[in-house]
Structure 1
Amino acid sequence: MGFIFSKSMNENMKHQQEFMLMNAQLQLERQLTMQNEMRERQMAMQIAWSREFLKYFGTFFGITAISLTAGAIKRKKPALLLPIVPLSFIFTYQYDLGYGTLLERMKGEAEEILEAEKNMLQLPKGMITFESLEKTRREQSKFFTDK
């Protein structure tokens, strides 16, 4: 009789462990999905910001380029065209970020770093562990109780 009861308890515990594992996996999948959704929304906001900024900066750049060109021709001073050079770099960068392939190139470079230069990503003193956190917490706790 005790053997049957023990066997039933073991089966119940096994089913409960499987349920807990499945539940933990589902929770982790939901967290990963949520984090990815947040990342995608942040990236979309960054691209949208860049496109909006490009509209304003493009207008500024166009007016400035036309004005400086007209001034250089009218006054016969080609030096007035020099500010167009750095402004064109900013304009090109913003255009590439908003409508070009900058994000794709950055993603490719990031993947290359993750694969080939893993040592660049290491934290000083290695990964944070529960033990190191507890040690710091205990030290801080002693510090505050000593005062």
Structure 2
Amino acid sequence: MGFLLSKSMDANLKKQQEFMLHNSRLQLERQMMMQNQMRERQMAMQIARSREFIKYFGTFFAVAFTGLTVGALKRKKPALLAPILPLSFIFAYQMDGAYGTLIHRVRGEAECIMASENHRLDLPHGTPTFDSIEKARRAKSSLASFLER
């Protein structure tokens, strides 16, 4: 009879372990999906911010370009056109970021760095571990309890 009870308990334990593994997998998948959605939302916000900046900078660039060109023609001083060159580079970069392929080129470069220069991605003191986080937590809680005294 003890053997049957032990066998039943082993089966229940195995089912419970499978259930816990399944739940852990589901939780991990949900966390990964949530992190990806947050990343996508942050990227969308950055692109939207770039597009909003383009509206303001584009207006500034158009006014500056017109004013400098008119001023250079009226005063016959071509040197007044000099600021147009750096402003045009800034405007082109912002347009590329807001509406162009800059994000694809940056992603491609990031993939190359991750593939061939991954040593540049190491964190100072290495990747945090459970032990290092727990050690810092304990030190902080002991410091807080010491300060309360």
State the TM-score bracket (shorter-chain normalisation): over 0.9
Shift in alpha-carbon separation, 1:96–1:145, aligned structure 2, 3 A:
same
1:102-132 deviation line (CA, Å, top 9, x unaligned): 0000000111111111100111221222222
Could you tell me which runs of 5 or more consecutive residues in structure 2 were left unpaired when the two chains were aligned: none
Q: Could you say which residue in structure 2 is the equivalent of 1:21?
A: 21
> 1:1-147 alignment to 2 at 5 Å?
1-144=1-144
TM-score under structure 1 normalisation?
0.92
1:27-66 deviation line (CA, Å, top 9, x unaligned): 1101111111111111111111111111221111011101
- Partner amino acid, structure 2, of 1:120: R
- Partner amino acid, structure 1, of 2:2: G
1:48-104 deviation line (CA, Å, top 9, x unaligned): 111111122111101110110010011000111011111111100110001111000
Q: 1:144, 1:20 → 2: CA distance? A: 36
Shift of the alpha carbon at 1:143? 4.4
Could you tell me which runs of 5 or more consecutive residues in structure 1 were left unpaired when the two chains were aligned: none
- Partner amino acid, structure 1, of 2:128: I
In percent, how many aligned pairs have the same letter? 63
Shift in alpha-carbon separation, 1:78–1:120, aligned structure 2, 3 A:
same
Q: 1:146, 1:37 → 2: CA distance? A: 41
TM-score under structure 2 normalisation?
0.91
The alignment yields a C-alpha RMSD, in angstroms, of: 1.5
